[in-house]
Structure 1
């Protein structure tokens, strides 16, 4: 009886909470550069900045598909983790399968060559993994390979060179032992926050690719724990829940009230090279705002919130919460243009020349914790008078209804995490 030869793609992302201190850097690797300074080599036109538009495009296409299928659920994922894993896998794809994967990731192959794309990820991952005393970040990949299968040296060398992947040879006939090996590795790399990523392996699996993101950061302006109290959060017109609400009323923040869109946007900086954008739709305007959530809109808000006149004193009320997301990518990605990836038509002859590989399943898990101490997850600009409403004498911002969140690496302009908080009491 013929058995399909399987490779399995697994992705884990973690935005982990911090209680005021950072864990020691993992194996000498840490995060990005020190507080809000430019990473060397991330000037305009650098390899990582060249792939940033494609990565953002993919992130929002992925988001809109999930949101359309589950409009009333929390959303949280790491587009960087998914994009890096798929780009790495494309090193072993050939012919139309490879082209389809790179185009599905949002890259225009008439403007970027295959080497530009992989060089961009190499530069991006190197910069994100630079050691830092202030920000703990570790982005990595691992390949678990059947110990008896001859993998092509070019594929193994390139995955290591471009994606800093670690290689493990294992006996996939021992499904229990291999499952434990993979889960222990992911648990270790995410500081124990993501466990049991793999629950059941098929005995005909030949390769497992795992990608993970660990991010732990402190707010530049932390909240006082003594001031956190339970307040109402309005999930929808008929549902209200109680959440621990953090408060600041004597700090300056970067924020704007959009004059042409029904929302407010808050920028909160972490210590280190990372920033969060929290987008709060006006009451009842979630769907309307969601429809215009585009890469251009993110760039516009981000550019505007670099201007000093948006840095003002604000009374801020923000929920303390934990959410997570789990996604079956083999059901989602074909709807985003990856038609061959999980079908018998897939051509992965660049991985091994002896057997026809197929990717039957792929999973992505991500978690987000936000507390008082911090978080453990170029375009046209215009003047402030055009985009802002009239200034108020007493500015108050209540995040007590559903909102969007975007976690960015400043120097590489990369979206690390993206999501929507509909009900902060739902894990």
Structure 2
């Protein structure tokens, strides 16, 4: 079987940390992390399942904010990758700053301890890295530190043990060399898909935190390339474009048309522990569907789309496309409760004893490519099993207008990618 040309790549959370004068103490080499101590079990009660509800809350909060700011634009990001970056950063935050980060990520600190959160992410990363047939996923973190910055060994030990972070010592006064070091590392880890991420770095930068995801998957039911044809896609009421449309007309799929909401929902499985929901609102009903896009609704759809009644032969028309998303998190996250992190009020004294350390910039970039052989996957669990049914006479499903994409890791129940395709020809 050929490998999918589908590639989903993401670089999330480029965090540029700035501060004033640095104590020129010798750098402490205290960054040797311990191996995973968590079992690889993903059953009920596993550490990664404990953080899944918080990850979902953050994912949808971020999506709704982006949808309200740019209602007519493509949206694509990895909430999980952003969460990993900032959960890791919280290891070095103290007092109210730490609380803001963890609560901003969707966690209720009266119900879950800081240790449980970090152990959950540790187990999640370990689970995602387990080998799977037809599925390749790699998530990683890298710390680029000033060689003059006195980093506390506890932060280095914890970031390595919980988040598998790699450490690079660099001279930020050499802007060209540091830029190349970061860009080369990102290019290598994303299989050459993300290049020239950083164009220039100011001399007051002392730390860069990078998180990335590389994802490549195969459909369980691939499309036949010879059946792909050029068809219309209705971007909005006044805009129609031509796109390559894939076709399957003999396969059975999990799908439903919501009896009470104006949308159809298609579940597409990947080889491995991933699957996707593609949510197709009825014409002109995108905003209505977005308003009810909640954790409970995802759970509801997922429960229904495990019942044999919704597994039927379908004539499926699905676009072949590529989209990307680029976000400046230091402008977005303060609207989600991260009010201190990008100000002088932040306390990152757990990273270094220099208390003027602060976050100045943070970027998130993502790319999604979908073709006949592979694409993204998603799944969730829940308890609601009523109020919906497939329309008996509706056996043709055409994704020829804007739709939503939700990609899940089935064994950790976390949303890995989330987005909206408004114009599939606009990268």
Instruction: Tell me if both proteins adopt one fold, taking TM over 0.5 as the criterion.
Output: yes
Q: Distance in 2 between matches of 1:211 and 1:188?
A: 13
Partner of 1:180: 180
Deviation, structure 1 residue 20? 8.5
1:381 partnered with 2:384: yes
- 2:223 is paired with a residue whose SS is coil
1:18 partnered with 2:7: no
1:302 partnered with 2:302: yes
- 1:250 is paired with a residue whose SS is coil
1:248 partnered with 2:248: yes
Partner of 2:41: 41
Q: Distance in 2 between matches of 1:205 and 1:275?
A: 40
Partner of 1:8: none
- 1:56 is paired with a residue whose SS is helix
Q: Distance in 2 between matches of 1:93 and 1:80?
A: 20
Deviation, structure 1 residue 199? 1.6
Asked if structure 2 preserves the Cα contact closer than 8 Å seen for 1:343 and 1:358, the reply is yes
Partner of 1:3: none
Q: 1:21 to 1:191 in 2, by over 3 A?
A: closer
- 1:400 is paired with a residue whose SS is coil
- 2:360 is paired with a residue whose SS is coil
Deviation, structure 1 residue 244? 0.1
Deviation, structure 1 residue 200? 1.6
String of CA shifts for 1:129-167, please: whole Å, max 9, x gaps.
Answer: 112342100011000011111110000000000000011
Partner of 1:262: 262
Decide which moves more: 300-309 or 362-371. Answer: 300-309
Deviation, structure 1 residue 388? 1.1
- 2:253 is paired with a residue whose SS is strand
Q: Distance in 1 between matches of 2:354 and 2:69?
A: 39
Deviation, structure 1 residue 416? 0.6
Decide which moves more: 295-304 or 399-408. Answer: 295-304
Q: Distance in 1 between matches of 2:110 and 2:127?
A: 26
Deviation, structure 1 residue 399? 0.1
- 1:360 is paired with a residue whose SS is strand
Asked if structure 1 preserves the Cα contact closer than 8 Å seen for 2:376 and 2:407, the reply is no
Q: Distance in 2 between matches of 1:279 and 1:106?
A: 24
Q: 1:367 to 1:97 in 2, by over 3 A?
A: same
Asked if structure 1 preserves the Cα contact closer than 8 Å seen for 2:255 and 2:311, the reply is yes
Partner of 1:26: none
Partner of 1:27: none
- 1:375 is paired with a residue whose SS is coil
Instruction: Map 1:313-392; keep pairs closer than 5 Å.
Output: 313-375=313-375, 378-383=381-386, 386-392=387-393
Partner of 1:420: 420
TM-score by length of 1: 0.90
Asked if structure 1 preserves the Cα contact closer than 8 Å seen for 2:302 and 2:382, the reply is no
- 2:250 is paired with a residue whose SS is strand
Gaps of 5+ in 1: 1-16, 23-38
Partner of 1:197: 197
1:282 partnered with 2:282: yes
- 1:84 is paired with a residue whose SS is helix
Partner of 1:166: 166
Deviation, structure 1 residue 292? 0.6
Q: Distance in 1 between matches of 2:98 and 2:168?
A: 24
Gaps of 5+ in 2: 9-38
Q: Distance in 2 between matches of 1:226 and 1:95?
A: 59
Deviation, structure 1 residue 18? 2.3
Q: Distance in 2 between matches of 1:214 and 1:115?
A: 27
TM-score by length of 2: 0.90
